[in-house]
């Protein structure tokens, strides 16, 4: 009996890392990329909580290198100088205020933890950092941490350049520099303890979990070693003994020796194949059809659902960085993008993360966007512009706010309504018209063919009149968009023209008149 209890306790400890710690029936995360803490706090209160969002992934909060050429790129956030909480998103007091205000309305905060490396080797020296701390990249001297030359992997890397030269060599990938970023020696207990101390400060403030940046570039055992030093979550908002949610950035498209599965012991992993394949299918490239999505998920070679964090696009690959290539759908392809996000949020696979972006002036040369470095909308002094809300609830100041698009917001709510219900009632026409249900709670249907749809299909839903939550929603017991009539046998007629603004319809029991 004692052994069984110990095993159950160990399983409980293990399970904690995979659970996003959201309030019940709030299932999706939104990445408010480069938002200021003050704006996130307000968005939690006025929009995210009322619309059932579970949590927010925030940009790295720690001190980073200030880069003025090119002018304040988004990637300067991934060049740490120290673990002090001050960045262009705000200072420590503003960060604490955001975490408290979001938690108070049941919206969790997940921090993007950049702990594989410090700034680039060419970062120079001085105080050009977001808190003004002195550093000397050439000497590996970061006194604000403190780290010194002893704390880096320079001696372990066996390439001539000190950089990763081959992704087929797991030692290079984990012991050499990624894009010249100074690689921390994570086998050293001092480095592990310093990272854990930073993460514990955030946990004690009320943070619910972490995205581990560049996890593929760290040994799984080294990550486990600093995760084992983490505190339980703050009991002001979480039940006693709750572990932080962990999801690790492991880009595994199947062609390299390092596999996402090597990291399952630490937490979930980012399933990059998800957005790359879904984009290919919805674009109808390579002969792919939506009918093939019937066994979506593990059937497509993805990691197990209970180990996956999924997304249509992320801050890297929407710019052509990271993984996925040209098939990745983004806000620039709004019509197809809404279909992809709708499919993701309706389908039970994985923990879902919605992207919320900012615009930049795209300019292509030889197929590459030469402005992919652009940082967030900024004032002339380099400070980040506030997120303004227009009368129609969209965002101003060049913030895209996909999470506020009616179709995406309403599908976030759909996912909450059908949470825990099985994938059911699949239908397809052998081409790009498909439909499926979630038990007796929700149903979604797509027409991605070049001809009009007029079909009767089984929804699995109780009889009644439902409001389509894509073209509108239920307000004051009326539909602001299309209506769908489900008969006593669960059948319904769906008509979607190929030129429809949004060629899909979704209904659920909370949108029934």
Could you give the residue numbers annotated as active site?
Answer: 213, 249
* Paired strand residues for 209: 110, 245
Cβ neighbours around 346 below 10 Å, total: 25
Q: Count Cα atoms within 13 angstroms, Cβ side, for 418.
A: 29
**Are 309 and 271 in contact, with CB atoms under 8 Å apart?**
yes
**Tokens describing residue 127:** 């105080």
Residue corresponding to tokens 């659902």:
305
Q: What is the DSSP string of 189-215?
A: HHHHHHHHHHHHHHHHHT--EEEETTG
Q: What is the DSSP string of 63-127?
A: EEB--TTTTS-GGGGGSEEEEEEEETTEEHHHHHHHHHHHHHTT-EEEEEE--SEEEETT--EES
**Tokens describing residue 462:** 């109780």
Nearest to 354 by CA among 364, 344, 368: 344
Q: Do you find a cis peptide bond into 384, omega within 30 degrees of 0?
A: no
**Tokens describing residue 17:** 């890392």
Rounded to the nearest 10 degrees, what angle do helices 334-346 and 272-282 cross at? 120
Nearest to 43 by CA among 283, 399, 340, 308: 399
**Are 309 and 282 in contact, with CB atoms under 8 Å apart?**
no
- Output the CA–CA distances (angstroms, integers) from residue 441 to 215, 414, 471, 495, in the order listed: 37, 9, 19, 21
Length of the chain: 513
Give the C-alpha separation, 202 to 16, whole Å.
17
């Amino acid at each position: 009996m004692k052994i069984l209890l110990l095993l159950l306790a160990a399983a409980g400890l293990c399970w904690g890392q995979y659970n996003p710690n959201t309030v019940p029936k709030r299932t999706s995360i939104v990445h408010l990329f480069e938002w200021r803490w003050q704006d996130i706090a307000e968005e939690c209160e006025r929009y995210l909580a009322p619309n059932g969002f579970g949590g927010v992934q925030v940009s790295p909060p720690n001190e980073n290198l200030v880069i003025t050429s090119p002018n304040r790129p988004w990637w300067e956030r991934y060049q740490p100088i120290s673990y002090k909480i001050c960045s262009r998103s705000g200072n420590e007091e503003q960060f604490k205020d955001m975490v408290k205000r979001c938690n108070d309305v049941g919206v969790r905060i997940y921090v993007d933890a950049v702990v594989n490396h410090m700034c680039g080797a060419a970062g120079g020296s001085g105080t050009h950092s977001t808190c003004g701390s002195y550093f000397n990249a050439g000497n590996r001297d970061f006194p604000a941490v403190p780290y010194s030359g002893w704390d880096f992997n320079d001696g372990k890397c066996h390439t001539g350049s000190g950089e990763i030269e081959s992704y087929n060599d797991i030692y290079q990938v984990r012991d050499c520099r990624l894009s010249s970023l100074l690689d921390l020696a994570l086998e050293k207990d001092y480095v592990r303890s310093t990272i854990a101390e930073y993460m514990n400060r955030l946990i004690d403030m009320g943070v619910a979990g972490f995205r581990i940046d560049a996890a593929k570039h760290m040994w799984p055992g080294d990550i486990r070693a600093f995760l084992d030093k983490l505190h339980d979550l703050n009991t002001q908002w979480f039940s006693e003994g709750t572990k932080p949610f962990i999801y690790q950035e492991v880009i595994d498209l199947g062609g390299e020796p390092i596999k996402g599965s090597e990291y399952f012991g630490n937490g979930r992993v980012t399933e990059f194949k998800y957005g790359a394949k879904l984009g290919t299918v919805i674009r109808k490239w390579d002969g792919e059809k939506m009918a093939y999505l019937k066994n979506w998920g593990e059937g497509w070679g993805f990691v197990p659902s209970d180990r996956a964090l999924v997304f249509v696009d992320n801050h890297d690959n929407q710019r052509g960085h990271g993984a996925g290539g040209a098939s990745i759908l983004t806000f620039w392809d709004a019509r197809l993008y809404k279909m992809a996000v709708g499919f993701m949020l309706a389908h039970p696979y994985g923990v879902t993360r919605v992207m919320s972006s900012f615009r930049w002036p795209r300019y292509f040369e030889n197929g590459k966007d030469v402005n992919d470095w652009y940082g967030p909308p900024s004032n002339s002094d380099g400070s980040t512009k506030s997120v303004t809300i227009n009368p129609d609830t969209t965002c101003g100041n060049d913030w895209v706010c996909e999470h506020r698009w009616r179709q995406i917001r309403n599908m976030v709510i759909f996912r909450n309504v059908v949470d825990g219900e099985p994938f059911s009632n699949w239908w397809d026409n052998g081409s790009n018209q498909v439909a499926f249900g979630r038990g007796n709670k929700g149903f979604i249907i797509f027409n991605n063919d070049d001809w009009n749809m007029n079909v009767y299909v089984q929804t699995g839903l109780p009889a009644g009149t439902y409001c389509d939550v894509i073209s509108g929603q239920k307000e004051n017991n009326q539909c602001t968009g299309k209506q769908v009539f489900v008969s006593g046998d669960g059948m319904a007629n769906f008509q979607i023209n190929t030129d429809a603004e949004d060629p899909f319809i979704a209904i659920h029991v909370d949108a029934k008149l």
